[in-house]
Structure 1
Amino acid sequence: MVTPSTLNHRDRAALRAVAAGRCALAGPTLLVDGLCCADQFLGARLTEAGLIDATAIGPACLTASGRAVLEAA
């Protein structure tokens, strides 16, 4: 289970960027403002945690769990 205390600063910043509509997924790679995220594993980590939806290549979106964790952070 992912809790706000298990997320690092980069995770929370990425979730805020996803919530703001600034992110997209290109396979497992998370793009922020059209640029590859410096943490190459961030997108996969947040997807595996169930915080972002990675069912399609394109705009990233938060899951219900992702919204809840972000609101609690």
Structure 2
Amino acid sequence: MSKKHDFAQSLQGLSEADLKVKIKEDEMRMKKLTFAHAIAPLENPQSIRALRRDIARLKTQLRKTQIGA
């Protein structure tokens, strides 16, 4: 399976509170990465894109749990 599919499968069993905590942690990591990239170029700038997409997947899963889908 793809990494995206594995990530989505790992989110299935998480509660709403767990998802919110994970979103907060990833958003802080995102801020740190973008700040570090502004100071000096990152070795792998694609990691910012991947993290941004993971945050979006987390928010989507949170919304699904909130509406009960």
Do both proteins adopt the same fold according to a TM-score greater than 0.5, normalized to the shorter chain? no
TM-score (norm 2): 0.31
Structure whose CA Rg is larger: 2
Structure with the higher strand share, 1 or 2: 1
Structure with the higher helix share, 1 or 2: 2
TM-score (norm 1): 0.30
- Greater relative CO, 1 or 2 (CA 8 Å, sep 6+): 2
